[in-house]
Amino acid sequence: MKTALVLAAALLSRVASAQPGATPPVEPSPSEPAPAEPAPEPPKGDPAYGQGPDHAVVDPVASDTPGIRMGRKIVVRYTPSRSRGNITKVALLAGSSLVFGGIGLYFHFDSRASSDEVSSNKFTGRPWTQERQAHYDDAHRSATVATVMYGIGGALLLTTAIFYIVTEPGQETMEITPHKKSKPTAMITPTRGGALVGTGWRF
């Protein structure tokens, strides 16, 4: 866990003496701890720090602010998108069914054209020649091919629909547990002629 200290805001202002009659603020010595580090517990009764603690830690748990509660799991429900591989498979299946259906349609029209050449429901006055027999055979052959192609295309279309439904991503749940030490800490550090206000948290 990486630790970072972020100074969100700094305010330098004159702070009037909190209590009348108190000793004026003393200039901190150069050996005073850097403001970036957690402020040490001030010695009670030290006139340099005043009578009481001059910094406070704001605990979000203790506050009434809605949102993150430390130590409590956050449950997120979501539906993930289809993977690229899944989309590719669906597209390939659907495309294949279209291709087979298209081939079937071609042979369908071919068989219909040949069939129209010889189909008749009344006396034609013409003999049954080899040419008409060829049309007849072509019509049957193309109809058979069209049927097979339609069958394969239909099966692929059905497979596509089933595959699409079966592989649809379901709703997933993700739990997030906020880190216990991520509580933000507010600090107020007295400085000469004012105070330094900052906050820091771990994430």
Interaction site with another protein (CB under 8 A):
108, 111-112, 114-115, 118-130, 132-133, 135-136, 139-140, 142-143, 146-147, 150
Report the alpha-carbon distance of residue 31 to residue 109 in Å, rounded: 96
What radius of gyration, in Å, describes the C-alpha atoms of the chain? Answer: 42
Provide the minimum distance between the beta carbon of 124 and another protein in the complex, in angstroms, as a whole number: 5
Q: 23 or 133: whose CB is closer to another protein?
A: 133
Provide the minimum distance between the beta carbon of 116 and another protein in the complex, in angstroms, as a whole number: 8
Report which DSSP code applies to 175: E
Provide the minimum distance between the beta carbon of 110 and another protein in the complex, in angstroms, as a whole number: 9
Provide the minimum distance between the beta carbon of 165 and another protein in the complex, in angstroms, as a whole number: 19
- Burial level of 49, CB count in 10 A (0-12/13-18/19+)? middle
Long-range CB contacts (within 8 A, 24+) of 65-69:
68/178, 69/178
Beta strand 185-191 pairing with 172-176: unpaired
Q: 93 or 107: whose CB is closer to another protein?
A: 107
Q: 22 or 134: whose CB is closer to another protein?
A: 134
Provide the minimum distance between the beta carbon of 170 and another protein in the complex, in angstroms, as a whole number: 30
- Residue 197 near residue 187 (C-beta atoms within 8 A): yes
Q: 118 or 188: whose CB is closer to another protein?
A: 118
Nearby residues of 157 by Cβ (< 8 Å), 6 or more positions away: 94, 97, 101
Q: 97 or 189: whose CB is closer to another protein?
A: 97
